[in-house]
Amino acid sequence: MSTTNGQWYPPEWPERIRLLSAGELTPVTPRRAATVLLLRDGAAGQDAPQDAQGAQDAQDAQGGDGEHTPAPDEVDAAERPDAAREPAGAPEPAGAPEPVGATEGPEPPPEGPADAAGGAAGPAVYMLRRRASMAFAGGAYAYPGGSVDPRDERMVTWAGPSRAQWARRLGLDPSEGTQAQAIVCAAVRETFEEAGVLLAGPTPHTVVADTTGDDWEADRAALVARDLSFAEFLDRRGLVLRSDLLSCWARWITPEFEPRRYDTWFFVAALPRGQRTRNASTEADRTVWIRPGDAADGYDRGELLMMPPTIATLRQLAAYGSVADALAAAADRDLTPVLARARLENGELVLSWPGHDEFTKHIPGATGGPSA
């Protein structure tokens, strides 16, 4: 269904909403998922956009990852849980011996991301465009992420807030530490699988400096194919998962009338020093580094297709002048799940997302009562 902006709104939704409101559609249980908004400070508008076919050519020509932050008119038909820190003096997980190629974090903090001072224009966020052939949100711009793998619950060497602290921050019961770990692991794993960026290091205070070698690619492909669990991957390489490099930003649940539903936690993280993003996902045909405000402008012009959670988080991030500012703000973010609701009003169904009036849709010719 066409809109004046880039809101993703499948043509089958009105009928599914009517069926749900009439009690003729049973909602499916959403799968837990995680997605990561990778952020970096620095100049924009350089190099050429990267698509799946030209990624390697772009890398060779530029001596880099071939990605780019488009100017506002250049886009083509394209917590750290600060409220949940470990107590001072808490023992840190033991890491493997530090190999050559690991990078220490900036001084004095031990986190490890490259938090260079941002300019007035603010940080850039890494986005990918889902292939048009994808069954869910084809053609939409999104962030790296995906569903929780049951094996993400397997024990890993861990740095940062405890699993119980993460459970509280994510809105789970403190006893659900294993489930909280799975969500955090999914965020880190999916970021590596889809962007080639790994939030892990040989010690609790370092991050891997380079993940571009053939051996890394073989492991990444094995993770994607589910031939290798993330716990096995980390253990084999002697790596510590750096949960302290993640900050939880938001939580959205796919509407009840959508057949593919996800309960998704959105995280923010700084691009680690020394690592380069690349289009490693088979689900994307294009990747860009773009400032949130520029991406939102493209959405408003109808040039960039996005789902409500994507444009909502972009608008929120546009207020911050640097990566450090955005990460610091995560501690105060409200993680109440956002779930669309449909109600009957004056003979039409009104679809709305609480707290996000810009996504409201009025569907004429409604029958039946409102959904619960």
Q: Give which of 144, 151, 137 is closest to 198, Cα–Cα.
A: 144
- pLDDT tens digit string along 280-322? 766 778 889 999 999 999 999 988 989 899 999 999 999 999 9
Q: pTM here?
A: 0.77
Tell me what pLDDT residue 368 has: 45
pLDDT band at 245 (very low <50, low <70, confident <90, very high): very high
Tell me what pLDDT residue 137 has: 56
Domains and CATH numbers, the chain: 32-84+94-340 (3.90.79.10)
- pLDDT tens digit string along 158-208? 999 999 999 999 999 989 999 999 999 999 999 999 999 999 999 999 999
Long-range contacts at 363-370 (CB < 8 A, ≥ 24 apart)? 363/14, 363/17, 363/18, 366/18, 366/21, 367/18, 367/21, 367/22, 368/18, 368/21, 368/22, 368/23, 368/24, 368/344, 369/21, 369/22, 369/23, 369/344, 370/21, 370/342, 370/343, 370/344
As a whole number, mean pLDDT of residues 94-104 equals 34
- pLDDT tens digit string along 40-97? 997 553 333 344 333 333 333 333 333 433 333 333 322 333 333 332 223 232 222 2
Tell me what pLDDT residue 22 has: 76
Tell me what pLDDT residue 86 has: 31
Tell me what pLDDT residue 60 has: 33
As a whole number, mean pLDDT of residues 93-102 equals 32
Q: Is the pLDDT of residue 103 over 60?
A: no
- pLDDT tens digit string along 353-365? 889 988 888 877 5
Tell me what pLDDT residue 186 has: 98
Tell me what pLDDT residue 12 has: 75
Q: Is the pLDDT of residue 27 over 90?
A: no
Q: Is the pLDDT of residue 142 over 80?
A: yes
- Cα–Cα dist 29/250, whole Å: 20
pLDDT, greater one: 34 or 27: 34
Tell me what pLDDT residue 365 has: 59
Highest mean pLDDT among 56-70, 137-151, 262-276: 262-276
As a whole number, mean pLDDT of residues 335-339 equals 96
- Cα–Cα dist 288/319, whole Å: 20
For the chain, the average pLDDT equals 77
